[in-house]
Chain A
Amino acid sequence: MVDKGFWGSRRAFGAAFVAGTALLALAGTAHAEGTIRVLNWQGYGTDEAWAVELFEQKTGIKVEHDYFNSEQEMLTKLRTSPGTYDVVLINSSFTGDAAAEGLIQPIDTSKIGNWGALTPAYRDNAMLNIDGKVMGVAWLWGVTSFAYNTEKLGAPGSIGALWDPANAGRVGWRDDAVEAVQLAALATGQNMNDPADMNVIREKLRALKGQIATFWSSEDEWNKLMSSGAFDLATYWSGSASRSKTAFGLPVEFVIPPEGAIGWLDGLSIAAGAPNPDGAHAFIDFMDSAEFYVKWDTEVGAPASANAEAMAALPEGAFNRVVLGDPAVGERLQFMAPIPEERRQAYLELWQETKTYFAE
């Protein structure tokens, strides 16, 4: 989230130009045909059956999907299969890595009709705009924190609930090194992107021994574990929590504690050597449209949209509008910054060591 001001002002000048070309872009998309191949997490918006159908009706473009289970797997797929994918979902903290390796190509923003409607803070984010080129179109943002079962627990007032002995053996935790370190940093009052004292974090993570009932790794698994009572409070993503509530009817509530929470921004990028770049632009534009987002969030559940108009079109009382739209909540978020490879490796080693300690 650095350099926001610089990009903001520059983009403001271009806004009128962008709005003018939106019509042209729409006309362009009508001619883009064939198929596009999307690389994304499974069940993360782009593969909603109704959305794929609607997009095909509008443009005549068929959408195929391939999935990844980790950001590294996504990067590996891009590295080892160039020319296979058109659109790829990349968390903004990885967009720089992907761009530096030449795995993605610059976006022609004149082909993104909704460009002008995107919230400048996300659209012009320095993690997506690299060396003056747009390498990813801001799509969704959300929060990583935790959710609890409202039928079994009272509202937790602090992130400390995860460490509370009263909740021993009832905590679910995502088996992810970076997330574990960042949550421990928040719980110990540190800057999660540059923790000052790793020893404190190490001790905090070790203190989870006996607290954690089990690890989870996918949204689907989380829903099963929560509904079967395997855990009663668990780390989670805001968009997934709203899906668990809306689509699966689980009695869960998402918590953004006073200690803060992890904010993240997901962008859609176009793979280098994409077979159908026009189709890719058209699909990204469609994904950023209010038409898609409002239906997705109200009927299925989604993170917050980077499209300000789409957010404004949500029904009154929607979680994404009420909670994430609250400026006080925004101030409590620390946005995820890119992590250098050595530090990522160090986090992984710390987490593996901690898990070995859990298993003793």
Chain B
Amino acid sequence: MSETARRRRAIVGLTAPAYLWLLLTIFLPLAAMLCFSVLTVAPIGGREPALTLKHYAAFLEKDFYRDLTWRSVRLGLDVTFWCVVVGYPAAFALARHVRGCWREALFLLIVLPFWSNGLVRVFSWTIVLRDGGLLDRAVHWVVPGAGALDIIYSYPATVIGLVHSFVPYMILTCYLSLQAIDDSLIEAARSLGASAARTFLRVVLPLSLPGLVAGAVLIFVPVVGSFMEPRILGGTQGIMLGTVIEDQFTTVFNWPLGAALSFILLAIVLAVMLAALPVLRGRLAGAEGASS
């Protein structure tokens, strides 16, 4: 057996389990949902389905689906933005300024939310944010005359809950990019007379961009489809495309419409990513150029 054939075999053997796993857990359920989305009724319980595109047409016919799509995309953008604002500086501090066991301890604190159940995290926010809750009391303790802090059951409450859930992704991906930056590059910039701000903008930020982008993608995609957090924290502002999709499965037996809306959401997410791609590609290429 030639060397190349053996190599090829090894590659197939080593990657096959992963691809099989992807096929079983991602591709097949997605394919089943794609089938459901073009049927009149879900073929469960002896129902006779027929082919149709009416569920996709429904999305275009009803104005409120468009409003909901915009609400969901805006939620995704807002949450991603705040994750960058909160997560990037934290990752920067961890990677560049914290050393030794402190770094590990801080890391543990960042990853800790991942270990608790998502529902518990969201409900704990209802305790913090409600009138007379922890935050309300803290504010009144500092500023006794402050008015009622009316945050719970609103759009900001949903954003706060989601940022808390997803910010670890941003910190982890940015941290990986930032700690890989060679200190000598920064020293070189400083010795050539660049200010700290200029060094950050021209050297550190471009080099950490891949982490920033990875974090943003990891956060934006699930947040656009989120339904639990808006439902629990959003109150009357909690309706999103995600909650409407959930309704099709839980309150009416309309899996086809739910599936069609899911695929429309998927298409929108892909479209947003594609739109962002040229910008990112330019920047990323620039970053690679700078590091080489």
Show the binding face of A for B, using Cβ within 8 Å. Answer: 69-73, 75-76, 79-80, 101-103, 175-177, 212-215, 217, 228-230, 341, 344-345, 348-349, 352-353, 355-360
Q: Given the interface contacts A103-B45, A177-B251, A359-B237, does A214 sit within 8 Å of B153 by beta carbon?
A: yes
Closest CB pairs A-B (n = 4) = A214-B235, A214-B153, A356-B64, A355-B239
Tell whether, in the assembled complex, residue B235 and residue A360 are in contact, meaning their CB atoms are under 8 Å apart.
Answer: no
Question: Which residues of the other chain, B, contact A73 by a CB distance below 8 angstroms?
Answer: 250
A228 touches which of B45, B62, B131, B235 (Cβ 8 Å): B131
- Give the secondary structure class of A's interface: helix
Q: Which of A69, A212, A230 has the most CB of B within 10 A?
A: A230
Tell whether, in the assembled complex, residue A69 and residue B236 are in contact, meaning their CB atoms are under 8 Å apart.
Answer: no
User: Does B152 belong to the interface (CB within 8 Å)?
Assistant: yes
Tell whether, in the assembled complex, residue A359 and residue B153 are in contact, meaning their CB atoms are under 8 Å apart.
Answer: no
Bound-complex Cα distance A194 to B215 (A): 51
Tell whether, in the assembled complex, residue A356 and residue B251 are in contact, meaning their CB atoms are under 8 Å apart.
Answer: no
Q: Given the interface contacts A212-B236, A229-B131, A356-B67, does A102 sit within 8 Å of B46 by beta carbon?
A: yes
Question: Which residues of the other chain, A, contact B231 by a CB distance below 8 angstroms?
Answer: 175, 217
Tell whether, in the assembled complex, residue B132 and residue A348 are in contact, meaning their CB atoms are under 8 Å apart.
Answer: no
Tell whether, in the assembled complex, residue B64 and residue A101 are in contact, meaning their CB atoms are under 8 Å apart.
Answer: no
Tell whether, in the assembled complex, residue A215 and residue B238 are in contact, meaning their CB atoms are under 8 Å apart.
Answer: yes
User: Does B247 belong to the interface (CB within 8 Å)?
Assistant: yes
Show the binding face of B for A, using Cβ within 8 Å. Answer: 44-46, 62, 64, 67-68, 71, 130-132, 152-153, 231, 235-239, 244, 247-254
Who on chain B is nearest to A344 by CB? B252
Tell whether, in the assembled complex, residue A345 and residue B254 are in contact, meaning their CB atoms are under 8 Å apart.
Answer: yes
- Minimum CB–CB distance for A244 against chain B, Å: 18
Bound-complex Cα distance A86 to B132 (A): 45
Tell whether, in the assembled complex, residue B68 and residue A356 are in contact, meaning their CB atoms are under 8 Å apart.
Answer: yes
Tell whether, in the assembled complex, residue B251 and residue A359 are in contact, meaning their CB atoms are under 8 Å apart.
Answer: no
Q: Given the interface contacts A230-B130, A345-B252, A348-B247, does A356 sit within 8 Å of B235 by beta carbon?
A: no
A230 touches which of B44, B152, B251 (Cβ 8 Å): B152
A70 touches which of B235, B236, B251 (Cβ 8 Å): B251
Tell whether, in the assembled complex, residue A72 and residue B249 are in contact, meaning their CB atoms are under 8 Å apart.
Answer: yes
Tell whether, in the assembled complex, residue B250 and residue A70 are in contact, meaning their CB atoms are under 8 Å apart.
Answer: yes
Tell whether, in the assembled complex, residue A215 and residue B235 are in contact, meaning their CB atoms are under 8 Å apart.
Answer: yes
- Minimum CB–CB distance for B258 against chain A, Å: 11
Tell whether, in the assembled complex, residue B67 and residue A360 are in contact, meaning their CB atoms are under 8 Å apart.
Answer: yes
Tell whether, in the assembled complex, residue B239 and residue A356 are in contact, meaning their CB atoms are under 8 Å apart.
Answer: yes
Bound-complex Cα distance A78 to B198 (A): 64
10 contacts between A and B (CB under 8 A): A70-B250, A72-B253, A73-B250, A213-B235, A214-B153, A215-B238, A341-B252, A348-B251, A356-B67, A359-B71
- Apart from A214-B152, A341-B253, A358-B237, 15 more pairs, CB < 8 Å: A69-B250, A71-B251, A72-B250, A72-B251, A73-B250, A103-B45, A177-B247, A212-B236, A213-B236, A230-B131, A230-B152, A230-B153, A349-B62, A352-B239, A353-B62
- Minimum CB–CB distance for B221 against chain A, Å: 22
Question: Which residues of the other chain, B, contact A358 by a CB distance below 8 angstroms?
Answer: 236-237, 239
